Amino acid sequence: MNSNDFLTMFLNAQIWLVVKLFVILALLIYLIFAIVIIRQVDLMTKAINFSLDGILKIIAVIHFVGAIVIFLVALIVL
């Protein structure tokens, strides 16, 4: 292995590290978005009363739990 191959390998590793960090950052922003969705659903169900309040809250919580699971899997895998 000559120095040129080593330099190429090092630069490729740095690029993938940056990509991994951006993916984790994007998933963290999505996790914050899921928290905002829970808050918005809660405010909406307080303002407007209808029969699907419970179902919407359950869907929002399932979405949030899914976002947490995906974020944790990304932390482990990446």
Q: What are phi and psi of 52, to 5 degrees?
A: -100, 20
Q: What is the pLDDT, as a whole number, of residue 13?
A: 73
**Can you give the pLDDT of all 78 residues of the chain as single tens digits?**
666 777 677 677 788 888 899 999 999 999 999 999 999 999 999 998 888 899 999 999 999 999 999 999 999 998
CA-CA distance, 63 to 40, in Å (whole number)? 13
Q: What is the pLDDT, as a whole number, of residue 40?
A: 97
CA-CA distance, 70 to 13, in Å (whole number)? 24
Q: What is the pLDDT, as a whole number, of residue 70?
A: 97
CA-CA distance, 62 to 34, in Å (whole number)? 10
CA-CA distance, 65 to 19, in Å (whole number)? 25
